[in-house]
Structure 1
Amino acid sequence: MNDTATEIRSVIVEREIAFPPEKIWRALTQPHLIQEWLMKNDFKLVPDHRFKLTAEWGSVDCRVLEIEPNRTLAYTWDAYGLESTVTWTLTPIGSGTHLRMEQAGFRPDQEQAYQGAKFGWQRFFENLEQVLARAD
């Protein structure tokens, strides 16, 4: 049996955004801003805090795993049998910030969830950039 059957995949989205890491960090960690670009939530920037993201289609159970202010944020993302981890990495660059999001943990039998995430995160990133453009 080859290892590709147990291959765990990730969805990765990377963008260069013309705002400083501190501003993007606020959009990633303040509940009212998270709601504008992602989903309704009861997020708190506290290690091990359990929170829910809710949308019309259902909800995602999450738990804060890692906090490194203005640099790294990671949390679990569990929904409909998918147990994954979302990691945000913010790297300062000359023109602003290189923002990287990786959602890791898609099993081979979760093709629909994988394709949905690939599509969904592109939209979430567009929403995030709109929120950043108008947020103070």
Structure 2
Amino acid sequence: MSDTRTIHCEQLLNHPPARVWAALTEPDLQARWWSAGDIKPVVGHRFTLDMAGWGRQQCEVVEVEPEHRLSYRFAEGVLDTTVTWTLEPEGAGTRLLLDHSGFNLATPMGKAAFEGMGGGWPKVLPRIDAALLRIDDQLDAGGA
């Protein structure tokens, strides 16, 4: 029996769910805060994420509830984990919850990925807010 684990993080963002949803599901926006890829919020859509030094990771969307939940298999054939984003309205903003599950701690790769991503995700989530603020500033200044 394998020992699997989940990374859980959450971040309160000063943007409504529609804006946060766009940051998670629009490739140009996602590339500004995390990784370039051809994501689409359509169940069954297969896409890749360019994880720089970690290579291109194959993914498949498995659940979509617009502006509420997005889940996809991540690093198929390598880690075989699942990333699930849940958006909860909170005041004028959004509480974003991340569950990255299925890390197999019985394998060296699974253990290393769990430890690395466990420290990495808390640093990545705040970049969503920063990216959306930069876009808002550009729009306010009349740029694209």
Q: TM-score, normalised by structure 2?
A: 0.84
Asked if residue 61 in structure 1 is aligned to residue 47 in structure 2, the reply is no
The partner residue of 1:103 within 97, 100, 107 is 100
Given that 2:11 and 2:126 are in contact with CA atoms closer than 8 Å, whether structure 1 keeps it comes out as no
Structure 1 gaps of 5+ residues are none
Partner of 1:28: 24
Query: 1:19 Cα deviation (Å)?
Result: 1.3
The runs of 4+ residues in structure 1 deviating greater than 6 Å are none
Given that 2:41 and 2:70 are in contact with CA atoms closer than 8 Å, whether structure 1 keeps it comes out as no
Partner of 1:128: 128
Given that 1:8 and 1:108 are in contact with CA atoms closer than 8 Å, whether structure 2 keeps it comes out as yes
Q: Can you list the C-alpha shifts for 1:98-122, whole angstroms capped at 9, x where unaligned? A: 1100000011232211011112212
How many angstroms apart in 1 are the aligned matches of 2:134 and 2:100? 26
Query: 1:94 Cα deviation (Å)?
Result: 1.8
Structure 2 gaps of 5+ residues are 137-144
Aligned amino acid, residue 72 of structure 1: R
Q: Following superposition of structure 1 onto structure 2, how do residues 2-17 of structure 1 map, counting pairs within 5 Å? A: 6-17=2-13
Q: Percent identity?
A: 36
Q: Can you list the C-alpha shifts for 1:17-68, whole angstroms capped at 9, x where unaligned? A: 1211111001001000011111111112221000000132112110011111
Given that 1:12 and 1:103 are in contact with CA atoms closer than 8 Å, whether structure 2 keeps it comes out as yes
How many angstroms apart in 2 are the aligned matches of 1:49 and 1:95? 31
The partner residue of 2:79 within 70, 77, 82 is 82
Given that 2:23 and 2:30 are in contact with CA atoms closer than 8 Å, whether structure 1 keeps it comes out as yes
Aligned length: 132
Given that 1:77 and 1:85 are in contact with CA atoms closer than 8 Å, whether structure 2 keeps it comes out as yes
